[in-house]
Structure 1
Amino acid sequence: MTVEPAEKLLAPVLSAFWDDPKSWTLDTYRRHEGYEGLTKALAMAPDDLIAYVKDSGLRGRGGAGFPTGMKWQFIPQGDGKPHYLVVNADESEPGTCKDIPLLFANPHALIEGMVIACYAIRSSHAFIYLRGEVVPVLRRLHEAVREAYEAGYLGKNIQGSGFDLELTVHAGAGAYICGEETALLDSLEGRRGQPRLRPPFPAVEGLYACPTVVNNVESIASVPAIIQRGKDWFKSMGSEKSPGFTLYSLSGHVASPGQYEGPLGITLRQLLDLSGGMRPGHRLKFWTPGGSSTPMFTDEHLDVPLDYEGVGAAGSMLGTKALQCFDETTCVVRAVTRWTEFYAHESCGKCTPCREGTYWLVQLLRDIEAGKGRPEDLDKLNDIADNINGKSFCALGDGAAAPIFSSLKYFRAEYEEHIEGKGCPFDPARSTVWADKSRTEAHA
């Protein structure tokens, strides 16, 4: 049997020329088939273009995995209202780090995808909502937009097609809640970012009460390659229900963290083999398949296919493919406490389960970590998380509950050790874990 080289497992498309000098410029992008997909798209009827993207099987890369073409199809036509495309670049989930590097290295992939998407949904104005703290990316994105206007890919009568498009780059003020699509729309309109009641959905009443498509950066940036190389090429990668390529963000206690672009369905074991594994002398203890808001996995799940169905069947969510890997020196209670502190801080306060529930989760977790917990606190943690999960106004509450449920499922004994031992067993001052490690290193 012939064994494929590890590199053959990867499928660099969006990241194919990130290491080129000045990869972010229009000249470099055009040398790599840039804007050729747009030329093909403009030769198609808008409805045919929507059907083509739908048939490709492209699913949203922002977390939920909703079919992109179907989302475009929801936009009512002939309603006499303006239509808008809003790209969600407010990336701020702990562990998620794919869209910002993509925009920094290859912003024109997004711009070309936006022109194609706007042509399909008959929109003449598009917005990019970027996380405001990433100033270097903001500057590079502004320059890419300027280049696109100058070259005739944005503005009036794009490539002689009669299609007009204005593109606005908006910098947010740094609120995690604005990653939720309706909170993002409120923020874009100049209001406090808080989730809206649905229905009506953004496809009916979104930005400025007009039909709006909200898509993730990677989702839209993937469209030009699909149009240029064909839907069959796209479907030749991945699985039947999760086709195509995607960016996996590998971080944590690994030898070579970074972005690994491969077909959906690759496993963490394969990605670790590609990246040199965990840091030398350590083993995997737990990891997240899609950022901190997805239920954690353990080393038992190394061979779970990293596509939407495979991860879902194993009890978690693929989310943003943020693969945070932690080794045996990591205290699960400490990690979950830090994540929960983040969600409590970023809760917008609109609904009681999330506002109050995340606060009390933090208090309990801090007590347990400090050795002040009681045995009944574990059931209380589970009960509070249950009162948040599925009962909050938006998915932030569900994300806050996920690490609680999964860590209690796989590492309840570690919580009990904190309570019975009156402190964290991973504290260097009293830790058997660190003492054993020191002895091993001394003998070595």
Structure 2
Amino acid sequence: MPLTPVLTRYWDQPESWTLSTYHSHDGYQALQKALAMEPDEVIQTVTDSGLRGRGGAGFGTGMKWGFIPQGDKGPAAKPHYLVVNADESEPGTCKDIPLMLATPHVLIEGAIIAAYAIRASRAFIYLRGEVIPALARLQTAAAEAYAAGYLGTDILGTKYDLDLVIHAGAGAYICGEETALLDSLEGRRGQPRLRPPFPAVSGLYACPTVVNNVESIASVPPIILNGVDWFRSMGSDKSPGFTLYSLSGHIARPGQYEAPLGITLRELLRYAGGVRDAHRLKFWTPGGASTPLLTDEHLDVPLDYEGVGAAESMLGTKALQIFDETTCVVRAVRRWTQFYEHESCGKCTPCREGTYWLAQIYERLESGEAASDDLAKLADIAGAMNGKSFCALGDGAASPIISSLKYFRDEYAAHVTAGGCPFDPRDSMLLQEVLA
């Protein structure tokens, strides 16, 4: 299956982030086309395209826009808001920040089109404040868009007004959860909200709000410009279009690979130069650290929402972290568990307590103090968190534990019987001897 460079087609151009470069690659032509359409027509076009949210859940983007009440008028009508979730912080996920660095204008154009479609006069891009270069690129691009008449009042003479706010968050993984992001944007501590009501009804400032991922919004201009049939010619029937796969870890050429949904890891590895020389694939994540692990048995699983789901994992953010046989799976999952323990907001008991005790068990496994029943405790605690936490952070913390126990239980048992980690990355045969 060939790659499909759309968003990435001119990332290698000199100063790809400038308005002049964007203009030379059809920049803002989709906006002109969208502003000549009715807002409902724009929503229907995105719905018909089948674009699914690229932030992890895979929910229909056009359907999400359609949830906004469109007929509210009069003095009691509430304003509508668009919020772009650029708080990328999932371990292994690295697609949105490169996109904002290389081509910030495609995100801004997509945001203007989306805001017009949902009849919003104010939009926000919520970005991690630590990522100073991406913040600067977005701010510069927004200033260029204002100067060119793409933002502000009477955009392109259509009497449509839109203000765009680039907001730098303080840096918290939980703010990637959309309702926690809204609380943070309002100036409060970022914690997930109880739903319902959903953001489409009561979101930012208790007003109807759409929250979309960076890649989701950036995918809108090419859909508007090239049409539904063009977009659906790529990918699969239920997961159409192109997307960014982030390959990292033990491979020859890590990076972003834009391909149709449904490509396999085996095919992507060919483009990425394969697993590093003289090594073999051991396990990998299909969608970042919060998705269940897969193994070398799953090289030919179609990387779309249905294919990965059938393999009992999730496509998530399409962050493919590749680990070879020199990696101790227990050590890798422990690192992720420590991350989730640190980033838990503490609002709900399953996640707050669960991540703490999981980290303690992993400490015992690595230090040689684990007891024979600790593996059962790992499974029990992870099971008590999965599907029972207030938000998806608890599910994400439990997923790699449950799946690694499923595929590598012998390796966990070896940590108990050997009195610590028996894995020497300089001699992977040592582990094989222990397991034998």
Q: Give the TM interval when normalised to the shorter protein.
A: over 0.9
What's the counterpart of residue 386 of structure 1?
A: 383
1:180 aligns with 2:173: no
Q: Does 1:341 align with 2:338?
A: yes
Aligned match of 1:11: 4
Contact 1:424 1:431 in 2 (8 A): no
Query: How big is the shift at 1:174?
Result: 0.7
Per-residue deviation, residues 138-160 of structure 1 (Å, max 9, x unmatched): 00110000000000000011111
SS of the residue aligned with 1:87? strand
1:32 and 1:60 mapped to 2: Cα distance? Answer: 24
SS at match of 1:9: coil
Q: Indicate conservation of the 8 Å contact 2:327/2:425, yes or no.
A: no
For residue 399 of structure 1, give the secondary structure of its aligned residue in structure 2.
Answer: helix
Conserved? CA contact 2:293–2:313, under 8 Å: yes
Partner amino acid for 1:287? W
* Segment drifting more, 368-377 vs 111-120: 368-377
- Aligned counterpart for 1:74 among listed residues 67, 70, 93: 67
Q: Are 1:205 and 2:202 matched, yes or no?
A: yes
Instruction: Provide, for residues 380-414 of structure 1, a one-character-per-residue CA deviation record: whole Å limited to 9, x for no partner.
Output: 10000011111110000000000110000000000
Looking at structure 1, the residues matched to 113 and 425 of structure 2 have their Cα atoms a distance apart, in angstroms, of 55
1:282-301 superposed matches below 5 A: 282-301=279-298
Report the CA distance between 1:423 and its aligned residue.
1.6
Structure 1 residue 428: deviation in Å? 5.8
Q: Distance in 2 between matches of 1:400 and 1:71?
A: 27
Whether the 8 Å contact between 1:247 and 1:260 is mirrored in structure 2 is yes
Stretches of structure 2 that go unaligned for 5 or more consecutive residues are: none
The one of 422, 425, 431 equivalent to 2:422 is 425
Task: Tell me which residue corresponds to 1:258.
Answer: 255
- Kept in 1, the 8 Å contact 2:325–2:428? The answer is no
Closer/same/farther in 2, CA of residues 370 and 429 from structure 1, 3 Å limit: farther
Aligned 1:73-92 pairs, distance under 5 A: 73-79=66-72, 80-92=77-89
Alignment of 1:141-180 (within 5 A): 141-180=138-177
Structure 1 segment 361-440 matched on structure 2, within 5 A: 361-427=358-424, 432-433=429-430
Corresponding residue of 1:231:
228
| Aligned-partner Cα distance in 2 for 1:394–1:147 | 38
State the secondary structure of the residue aligned to 2:283.
strand
**2:100 paired with 1:103:** yes
In structure 1, the residue matched to 2:26 is: 33
Name which of 104, 114, 120 aligns with 1:117: 114
Report percent identity of matched pairs.
Answer: 75
Mark the CA change 1:56 to 1:420 in structure 2 (over 3 Å): closer, same or farther.
same
Give the whole-Å Cα distance in 1 for the aligned partners of 2:333 and 2:216: 29
Q: Which residue, out of 191, 194, 202, partners 2:191?
A: 194
CA contact (8 A) 2:326 2:425 kept: no
One-letter amino acid matched to 1:370: S
Q: Residues 91 and 429 of structure 1: is their aligned pair in 2 closer, same or farther, counting only changes over 3 Å?
A: closer
| Partner residue, 2:48 | 55
Shift of residue 48, structure 1, vs aligned partner: 1.0
The alpha carbon displacement at 1:119 in A equals 0.6
Offset of 1:433 from its aligned partner? 3.7
2:242 — aligned with what? 245
Write the letter of the residue equivalent to 1:329.
T
Distance in 1 separating the partners of 2:229 and 2:288: 30
In the TM superposition, residue 108 of structure 1 has moved relative to its aligned partner by: 0.4
Aligned position for 1:324: 321
SS at match of 1:325: strand
Give the secondary-structure state (helix, strand or coil) at the position aligned to 1:152.
Answer: coil
Q: Distance in 2 between matches of 1:265 and 1:430?
A: 36
Structure 1: gaps spanning 5 or more residues: 1-7, 437-444
Deviation at 1:24, TM superposition (A): 0.3
Q: Which amino acid is the alignment partner of residue 86 of structure 1?
A: V
| In 2: Cα distance, 1:240 partner to 1:387 partner | 35
The CA RMSD over aligned residues, in Å, is 1.3
- Residue 217 of structure 1 aligns with which residue? 214
Contact 1:425-1:431 within 8 A present in 2 as well: no
What is the number of equivalent residue pairs in this alignment? 429
- In 2, the alpha carbon distance for the partners of 1:429 and 1:314 equals 32
Distance 1:81 1:304 in 2: 45
Aligned partner of 2:352 among 345, 352, 355: 355
Deviations 1:47-100 (A, max 9, x none): 111011000000000000000000000000232110000000000000000000
2: CA distance, partners of 1:12 / 1:173:
33
Q: Secondary structure at the match of 1:139?
A: helix
Question: Counterpart of 2:105 in structure 1: which amino acid?
Answer: H
AA partner of residue 400 (structure 2): P
TM-score when scaled to structure 2? 0.97
CA shift, 1:429, in A, is 8.9
- Equivalent-residue separation in structure 2 for 1:266 and 1:433 (angstroms): 35
1:44 aligns with 2:41: no
Runs of 4+ in 1 over 3 A off after TM superposition: 427-436
The match for 1:441 is none
Deviation at 1:427, TM superposition (A): 3.6
SS in structure 2 at match of 1:279: coil
Cα contact 1:256–1:276 (8 A) shared by 2: yes
